[in-house]
């Protein structure tokens, strides 16, 4: 809410008000502005009334919401509210959600909404015109109805078109988003409030591998500057994925049910599978189920070469029980995830089983003076790896089972208090406890290399993190907004005594067991962000963040310098060998970022956003060379994790312009996203690993009544700034053309399209090396970069009720 009358005299006074928010709470309390009432009708693109659409009005200052449903005539009416600025969100499964910031005046007000046909995710993300809850300008939020994305993509691919994001390819379900050149655990990945640890020395089961893209309803990406309330134990940024909020019956119905069933087929690699989401609810109780199954075979690249170990199969089941009454919401989610197999073309190993069982209990209570949002969670992960048949030139002789068991548990609690009309205070606490056992059974007959004893890679590894934070969002006047936050994460790590397959591992094990493994890191993060809205069409923002990540269990505790054992450690897709370092310090990033956003006054016809940034990372966790080895014509490095200062700078750009918009000829627009970044290690001046070269995407999209169609083009520059320490390959530039079309009948939608239409051969700049081809060739020849998918056509069908 913007209150212009209470303008302060000076910045000093303003700062004092931030530092003493509790005093202001006592002194001023809530103001009593006028009362407003909003009502209207929700239409579909054919101008028919939409029954049962969920209408949510949120106060961006407090996050508190009013929710209602449209009746049989598509009408909605919200209760009386104080006048001011709100976010209006309207959603109905099967249609694209509507999101807009509105200003309510005193008295009754009418707002009719037309929900559009959802756009498939191939098109480029439009810069968000709305930034709820004090998110940075550079943050991007995408929303959709459940089931609008079928699982022909991994959840990570939902982020691929977002400014500041590039994808590091791995197994079919394990791709990792890189935000401003930082990926993996440098990015905080939060799915339904839960951060799951990697329970694998190769990170084959990252957090996003547990979420079906079809069950992601809202995806928020914050590259670089992140409010401390959404950060912690990460330095690159935060990705938040939420499944759909529970559905409850509307005002004019006693009970409510809805569902979406979809299926897809993709020809290159023969991917196919169904998704189902269903809800049954009355006014107070709701039960939902969402399930998906998908199978993928190996794809072929643009030269017709089959890229082996790009197969996968996966099943996801989530049951949701929810209850609500005035001011209270309780949600219990139980998940069962099963991946029976998944190939990893850029690793020495493949996944042969991964089971994840999770429980997630959420309680939200509105006290009137503030809102508490708390969650408790648990996940157990059972993960097994072995060498898949595709890889081995010597069938069965290379059998090497590895089993990992991880357990995550903890809570998050956030309290949001609107102190007065100007300041909102957020306080929070988190605990994340992670237990890991990484156990490699003996393989009889292979003494002394892999027998007679099992290899204890991580034995009773523990990583416990306790966090506290406080944050103030302040709306000083109609032009200035600030966000200030401070956060402490204390990380305790330890691990038990280890041992190897045989005496040949004994020296390393004894040296490791002889010293203490307990480590405590006290990490301090801070974020300061200021936004200036010059006029209705121009906004500027500048921010600074200090963020810290403590090492993971393998970075500190991978103990063996044996070539084979160290070759099993590493999540980089580079074929190198990694050894841990007990002396490793947390890495600390200092990021400065600015954003400028321009758009037409109504935020409908055009928008442009530019975000330059620079990050200096103190004690960046890189590596030192221990030794090199050569097999065939390829050289590999054995590396020990080590702290070195590093720097990444770059710029993101995003824009869109409407070409035409009328009832007769529909809506057409052009969108564009570009990214440039450069990263180097400061002591050696060498390139950092996995830096995406200059890249841009542009798209044309047209919607006309029930039709939607578009074209997209992606251009990626040659990758020449590579990490010489890891023998990272250079990759040539390329361009990819795609197209898609859909037709919607209301209860049914048909999607069809194609990717890489010109069947272009290209090497993935962040894909690492093709270890499969190299191993299948008997460890001979020159190892090559992993190549991308050739032409691929897909079709999808969605039914809803
Ligand atoms: Cu694994």
Q: Rounded to whole angstroms, how far apart are CA atoms 471 and 232?
A: 13
Q: Give the Å distance between the CA of 351 and the centre of ligand 1.
A: 6
Q: Which of 177, 188, 183 is nearest to 230 (CA)?
A: 188
CATH number of the domain that residue 429 is part of: 2.40.170.20
How much distance in Å is there from the Cα of 463 to the middle of ligand 1? Answer: 19
The per-residue pLDDT for range 760-782, each reduced to its tens digit, is 999 999 999 999 898 888 888 89
Q: How far is the CA of 769 from the centre of ligand 1 (A)?
A: 17
Domain-embedded: residue 24: no
The SS3 call for residue 184 is helix
Beta bridge partners of 677: 650
Question: How far away, in angstroms, is 353 Cα from ligand 1 center?
Answer: 9
pLDDT band at 62 (very low <50, low <70, confident <90, very high): low
Could you tell me the distance, in angstroms and rounded to a whole number, from the CA of residue 578 to the centre of ligand 1? 15
What is the C-alpha separation between 160 and 529, in angstroms, rounded? Answer: 26
- What does the pLDDT average to over 593-611? 88
Between the CA of 43 and the centroid of ligand 1 the distance, in Å, is 48
Report CA(159)–ligand 1 centroid distance (Å): 23
Ligand 1 centre to CA of 201 (Å) is 6
Q: Which two tokens stand for residue 444?
A: 């009889």
C-alpha distance from residue 81 to each of 1, 85, 101, 106, 477 (Å): 12, 11, 15, 9, 21
Tell me, in angstroms, the distance from the centre of ligand 1 to residue 632's CA. Answer: 26
In angstroms, what is the span from residue 344 Cα to ligand 1's centroid? Answer: 9
Distance 199 CA to ligand 1 centre (A): 7
Q: How far is the CA of 461 from the centre of ligand 1 (A)?
A: 16
State the distance from the centre of ligand 1 to the C-alpha of 347, rounded, in angstroms.
Answer: 9
Burial of 37 (0-12, 13-18, 19+ CB in 10 A): middle
Using DSSP, state whether 371 is helix, strand or coil: strand
C-alpha 784 to ligand 1 mean position (Å):
22
Ligand 1 centre from 645 Cα, in Å? Answer: 29
* Per-residue pLDDT, 98: 81
> Ligand 1 centre from 232 Cα, in Å?
25
Query: Would you say residue 380 lies in a domain?
Result: yes
Question: Does 578 fall in a domain?
Answer: yes
CB 246 within 8 A of CB 279: yes
pLDDT in tens, 476-497: 888 888 999 999 999 999 999 9
Distance CA 74, CA 46 (A): 13
- pLDDT of 144 reads 56
For 233-246, b/e burial (b = at least 16 CB within 10 A) is bbbbbbbbbbbbbb
**670-719 residue pLDDT tens:** 999 999 999 999 999 999 999 999 999 999 989 888 888 999 999 999 99
**CA 384 / ligand 1 centre spacing (Å):** 6
Ligand 1 centroid to residue 297 C-alpha, Å: 19
CA of 571 to the centre of ligand 1 (A): 9
Domain presence at residue 751? yes
Q: Residue 462 is encoded by which pair of tokens? A: 């523990």
Evaluate whether residue 229 is within a structural domain.
no
- 147 pLDDT band, cuts 50/70/90, is very low
Please tell me the distance between residue 56's alpha carbon and the centre of ligand 1 in angstroms: 42
Q: Cα–Cα distance between 367 and 348 in angstroms, integer? A: 54
Residue 454 lies in a domain: yes
Residue in this structure with the two tokens 């702290």, named with its chain if needed: 643
Distance 186 CA to ligand 1 centre (A): 19
Quote the percentage of the chain above a pLDDT of 70.
90
Domain that holds residue 526: 237-800
Q: Is residue 227 part of a domain?
A: no
Give distance in angstroms: CA of 776 to centre of ligand 1: 20
Residue 642 belongs to some domain of the structure: yes
Highest mean pLDDT among 188-197, 454-463, 770-779: 454-463
Ligand 1 center–CA 204 separation, angstroms: 5
Cα–ligand 1 centroid distance for 554 (angstroms): 13
Rounded Cα gap, residues 642 and 627, in angstroms: 15
Judged against a pLDDT cut of 80, whether residue 32 lies above it is answered with no
pLDDT for res 393: 66
Give me the pLDDT at residue 569, please. Answer: 96
For the chain, the average pLDDT equals 86
Mean per-residue pLDDT, 115-136:
47
Centroid of ligand 1 to alpha carbon of 458 (angstroms): 13
Q: Quick check: 525 and 228 in contact, CB under 8 A?
A: yes
- For the cut 50, the answer to whether the pLDDT of residue 15 exceeds it is no
d(CA 383, ligand 1 centre) in Å: 7
Q: How many angstroms separate the alpha carbon of residue 388 from the centre of ligand 1?
A: 12
Span from the CA of 403 to the centroid of ligand 1 (angstroms): 8
Distance 410 CA to ligand 1 centre (A): 24
H or E element that contains 683: none
Residue 122: pLDDT band (50, 70, 90) is very low
Q: How many angstroms separate the CA atoms of 226 and 222, rounded?
A: 6
- Total tally of structural domains belonging to the chain: 1
CA 285 / ligand 1 centre spacing (Å): 39
Edge-to-edge order in the sheet of strand 218-223: 140-143, 218-223, 237-242, 187-191
423 Cα–ligand 1 center, Å? 46
């Amino acid at each position: 809410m913007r209150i212009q009358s209470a303008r302060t005299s000076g910045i000093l006074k303003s700062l004092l008000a931030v530092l003493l928010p509790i005093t202001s709470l006592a002194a001023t309390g809530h103001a009593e502005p006028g009362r407003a009432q909003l009502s209207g009708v929700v239409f579909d693109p054919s101008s028919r009334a939409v029954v049962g659409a969920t209408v949510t009005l949120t106060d961006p200052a407090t996050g508190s919401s009013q929710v209602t449903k449209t009746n049989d005539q598509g009408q909605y009416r919200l209760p009386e509210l104080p006048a001011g600025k709100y976010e209006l969100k309207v959603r109905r499964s099967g249609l694209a959600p509507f999101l807009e910031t509105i200003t309510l005046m005193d008295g009754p007000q009418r707002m009719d909404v037309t929900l559009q046909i959802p756009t498939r995710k191939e098109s480029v993300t439009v810069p968000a015109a709305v930034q709820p809850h004090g998110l940075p300008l550079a943050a991007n939020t995408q929303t959709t109805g459940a089931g609008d994305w079928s699982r022909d993509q991994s959840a990570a691919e939902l982020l691929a078109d977002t400014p500041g994001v590039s994808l590091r390819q791995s197994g079919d379900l394990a791709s990792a988003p890189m935000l401003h050149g930082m990926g993996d655990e440098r990015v905080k990945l939060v799915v339904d409030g839960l951060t799951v640890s990697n329970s694998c020395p190769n990170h084959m089961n990252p957090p996003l591998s547990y979420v079906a893209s079809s069950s992601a309803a809202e995806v928020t990406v914050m590259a670089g500057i992140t409010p401390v309330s959404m950060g912690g134990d990460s330095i690159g940024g935060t990705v938040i994925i939420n499944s759909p909020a529970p559905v409850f019956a509307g005002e004019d119905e006693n009970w409510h049910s809805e569902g979406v069933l979809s299926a897809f087929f993709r020809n290159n690699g023969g991917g196919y599978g169904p998704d189902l989401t269903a809800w049954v609810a009355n006014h107070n109780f709701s039960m939902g189920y969402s399930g998906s199954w998908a199978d993928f075979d190996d794809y072929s690249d643009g030269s017709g070469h089959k890229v082996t170990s790009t197969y996968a199969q996966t099943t996801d089941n989530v049951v949701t029980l929810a209850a609500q009454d005035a001011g209270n919401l309780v949600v219990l989610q139980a998940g069962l995830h099963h991946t029976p197999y998944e190939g990893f073309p850029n690793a020495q190993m493949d996944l042969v089983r991964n089971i994840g069982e999770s429980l997630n209990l959420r309680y939200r209570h509105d006290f009137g003076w503030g809102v508490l949002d708390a969650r408790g969670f648990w996940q157990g992960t059972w993960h097994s790896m072995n060498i898949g048949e595709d890889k081995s030139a010597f069938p069965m002789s290379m059998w090497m089972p590895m089993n990992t068991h991880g357990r995550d548990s903890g809570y998050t609690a956030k309290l949001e208090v609107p102190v007065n009309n100007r300041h909102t205070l957020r306080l929070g606490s988190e605990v994340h406890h992670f237990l890991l056992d990484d156990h490699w059974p003996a393989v009889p007959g292979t003494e002394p290399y892999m027998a007679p004893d099992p290899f204890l890679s991580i034995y009773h590894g523990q990583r416990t993190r306790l966090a506290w934070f406080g944050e103030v969002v302040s709306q000083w006047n109609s032009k200035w907004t600030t966000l200030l936050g401070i956060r402490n994460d204390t990380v305790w790590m330890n691990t038990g005594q280890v041992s190897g397959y045989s005496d040949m591992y004994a020296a390393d094990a004894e040296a490791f067991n002889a010293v203490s493994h307990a480590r405590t890191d006290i990490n301090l993060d801070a974020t300061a962000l200021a936004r200036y809205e010059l006029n209705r069409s121009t906004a500027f923002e500048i921010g600074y963040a200090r963020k810290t990540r403590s090492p993971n269990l393998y970075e500190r505790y991978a103990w063996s310098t044996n070539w084979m054992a160290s070759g099993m450690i590493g999540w980089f897709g580079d074929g190198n060998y990694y050894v841990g370092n007990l002396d490793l310090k947390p890495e600390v990033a200092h990021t400065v970022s600015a954003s400028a956003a321009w758009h037409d006054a109504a935020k409908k016809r055009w928008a442009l956003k530019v975000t330059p940034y620079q990050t200096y990372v103190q004690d960046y966790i890189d590596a030192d060379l221990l030794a090199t080895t050569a097999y065939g014509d390829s050289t590999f490095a054995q590396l020990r994790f080590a702290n070195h200062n590093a720097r990444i700078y770059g710029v993101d750009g995003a824009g869109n312009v409407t070409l035409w918009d009328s009832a007769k000829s529909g809506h057409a627009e052009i969108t564009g996203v570009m990214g440039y970044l450069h990263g180097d290690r400061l002591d050696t001046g060498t390139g950092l690993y996995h830096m995406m070269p200059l890249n841009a995407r542009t798209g044309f999209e047209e919607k006309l009544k029930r039709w939607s169609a578009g074209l997209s083009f992606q251009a990626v520059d040659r990758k020449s700034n590579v990490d010489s320490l890891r023998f990272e390959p250079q990759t040539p530039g390329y361009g990819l053309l795609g197209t898609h079309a859909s037709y919607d009948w209301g209860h049914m939608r048909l999607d069809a399209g194609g990717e890489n239409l010109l069947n272009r051969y290209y090497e993935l700049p962040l894909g690492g090396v093709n270890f499969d081809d190299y191993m299948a060739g008997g460890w001979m020849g020159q190892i090559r970069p992993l190549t991308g998918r050739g032409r691929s056509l897909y079709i999808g069908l969605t039914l809803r009720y």
